[in-house]
Chains A and B, each alone.
Chain A
Amino acid sequence: MSSALRFLIVDDFSTMRRIVRNLLKESGYTEADEAEDGVVALNKLRNGKFDFVVSDINMPNMNGFQLLTEIKKDDTLKHLPVLMVTAEARKEDIVAAAQGGAAGYIVKPFTKATLEEKVALILKKMGL
């Protein structure tokens, strides 16, 4: 269990943020904060310490792709793994996310096992 890791969950729907937060908690990741769009997320990332970002794509103000780009061009944030959790199921979006530096991609609706597996896989690749 990696209970010390701190997650940032980014989604414009509070229901989905709560679902992801509870699932992470069930998997032993108890430290998490939430943001309703990319702008709020970026602000929290720049003013706090986080180890992992779980982000939706389709959001107002700043979408998940834009957030990913901002994270990857920021020297202080670019090391953060970003797992996209989204309803966008088009191949071009998945390819764009991978090429933009996303660490993983989950299509909604998803299962607890899928989230658990992807988070564990990403953390393993990072040596955490």
Chain B
Amino acid sequence: MQAEDQDAVAPGAAGPIHNQIGLLTRQLHNALNELGYADQLRGSMGELPDAQSRLSYIARLTGEAAEKVLSRVEQAKAQHDYIASETRRVVASLVADPVAAVAKGEIFNFLTDVERVTKEADTHLTEIMMAQDFHDLTGQVIARVVNLAATIEQQLVQLLIQTAPPQAAPQPPAEPRREHLQGPVVNPESTPDVVTSQSQVDDLLASLGF
């Protein structure tokens, strides 16, 4: 509670308010315990920091993908501009004096440039394509965060059903299916027993004789 909030309470009134809050907290705690939801809700709350790191992972991955794509596009555009300008220059040279243009090696140099830039453009396009893998990786992480939200919602709905008047109580929903597989590791530093690179995968397989 902020200092100004505490100041707003009339002198002498803080004691009864504190007692009332304490009473309400105790009632909620007892109710959750009696209904058997305390542990489940505590478990879900414990997953929230994990959800936060997963959301940070999504932000990082999408940011990196955007940077990668923009960087490659900028490089490709610069190379494209260079070839366009060279094409205009070589065409002008050919029109002015075709024999000299060939003899001075302008045509040969231009074609060599085109071949090099074409190869580099292909690399840029492959990297842009590879950057789209964030869709798969973040999609799996989003699915887990949504699953956590659904679990909390389901537990709260069950609590609501338990506390509703008898005539208004609907049937409780079925338990959500828990996934065994974990998806991408969002914080490998604090996760034991995971590999962090393809070379570690290869080493592990080699140690198993594969």
Give me the interface of A with B, judged by CB distance under 8 Å.
11, 13, 15-16, 19, 22-23, 26, 57-58, 63, 87-95, 98-99, 104-112, 114
Contact = CB atoms under 8 A, between A and B. Distances in A.
Q: Which of A11, A19, A92, A104 has the most CB of B within 10 A?
A: A19
A87 B130 contact: no
20 contacts: A13-B139, A19-B132, A19-B133, A26-B126, A57-B181, A58-B140, A58-B181, A87-B136, A88-B181, A89-B196, A90-B182, A90-B193, A90-B194, A90-B195, A91-B193, A95-B208, A106-B198, A107-B198, A112-B126, A112-B130
Nearest to B61: A109
Interface of B: 126, 129-130, 132-133, 135-137, 139-140, 179, 181-185, 188, 193-198, 201, 204-205, 208, 210
B136 A94 contact: no
Contacts, number: 84
B6 to A, nearest CB: 49
Contacts of B204: 91, 94-95
A89 B193 CA distance: 9
B198 A15 contact: no
A76 to B, nearest CB: 24
Given A15-B136, A94-B205, A109-B137, A88 B182 contact: yes
Contacts of A91: 193-195, 204
Contact of B133 (A93, A99, A109, A114): A109
Given A89-B195, A107-B201, A98 B210 contact: yes
A94 B201 contact: yes
Nearest to A84: B201
